[in-house]
Amino acid sequence: MLKINNLHASVEDKGILKGINLEVKAGEVHAIMGPNGSGKSTLASVIAGKEEYEVTDGNIIFEGEDIEELAAEERAHKGVFLSFQYPVEIPGVSVTNFIKTAINESRKAKGLGDMPAKDMLKLIREKADLLEMDRKFLSRSLNEGFSGGEKKRNEIFQMAMLEPKLAILDETDSGLDIDALRIVANGVNKLKSKDNAVVVITHYQRLLDYIVPDFVHVLYNGKIVKSGGKELAHELEEKGYDWIKEEVNA
Ligand SMILES: Nc1ncnc2c1ncn2[C@@H]1O[C@H](COP(=O)(O)OP(=O)(O)OP(=O)(O)O)[C@@H](O)[C@H]1O
Ligand SMILES: [Mg+2]
């Protein structure tokens, strides 16, 4: 599904990613961990196609196609979803109306007409229930006055509605209380299938108790310096990153 080869990327002429290699196959869950500033969010942004990042070498192949020249919006229409992609506050536009527009735009890009209102309503209710969301929340203005946890839950709701092929969740656990964490993780698990893939970026092993990864990668100084199974996350929780830094610098 996703194949990243020797990816180098910079922002404001500063090299951040320094040769990332990563392959994510359909049906897999990958976790990316690593110290602050190592490039995790940058990697997510580069995959999603945010404009401020420049790819200076290597490539990103999504579903067999080099997506470098595609705008973020086109990538989204092809099924790439990044949490935090729509953090804007839009007073007067409800959570529901925002997602309706997003869905119909993605259908338009595929040459389809608008989703019939009845189907849309049914889908919205189904996904809101899946994430145990209060119906009242759906009519609130997008992100306006949302608490950190509400923002995160709204992101997962957007993901549930859009059903992306590849979902990249950047620190979805930060700001969620224990119950919300469980609900959101269960939502992600229920949406998992053999046809889609999830990349979770997290600092804590805790989230990975709920969303169990097939692979864990450690990003350090713009490179993936170690990969393993879910036990690697436990090892990191226990030992921190120093041993990895020592290995790299040895
Ligand atoms: N838009 C930007 N402008 C300037 N510097 C940036 C920008 N985006 C990222 N960087 C720099 O790139 C480096 C990597 O940042 P990034 O956000 O990818 O780290 P991270 O691994 O996600 O860290 P954290 O764990 O703290 O979220 C940092 O030094 C950061 O300051
Ligand atoms: Mg980050």
What number does the ligand 1 atom closest to the CA of 222 have? 14
Q: Residues lining ligand 1, judged by CB closer than 6 Å?
A: 11-12, 16, 34, 36-42, 52
Query: Which ligand is in closest contact with the Cα of 218?
Result: 1
**Res 87: pLDDT:** 63
CB atoms within 10 A of CB 44: 21
What number does the ligand 1 atom closest to the CA of 52 have? 1
CA distance 175 to 21: 30
* Helix 148-162 × helix 178-191 angle, to 10°: 10
How far away, in angstroms, is 108 Cα from ligand 2 center? 32
Give, using CA atoms, the residue closest to atom 4 of ligand 1: 11
**Res 226: pLDDT:** 95
Give, using CA atoms, the residue closest to atom 13 of ligand 1: 37
- Domains assigned to the chain: 2-85+155-249 (3.40.50.300)
CA distance 49 to 36: 22
**Tokens coding 161:** 């509605």
**Res 44: pLDDT:** 96
**Res 85: pLDDT:** 57
How confident is the prediction along the chain (250 residues), in pLDDT tens digits per residue?
Answer: 999 999 999 999 999 999 999 999 999 999 999 999 999 999 999 999 999 999 999 999 999 999 999 999 999 999 999 986 556 777 788 999 999 999 999 999 999 999 999 999 999 999 999 888 888 999 998 888 888 788 888 888 999 999 999 999 988 777 788 888 888 898 889 889 999 999 999 988 888 999 999 999 999 999 999 999 999 999 999 999 999 989 888 8
**Res 146: pLDDT:** 86
**Res 160: pLDDT:** 93
Q: Which of 208, 211, 167 is nearest to 48 (CA)?
A: 167
**Res 195: pLDDT:** 95
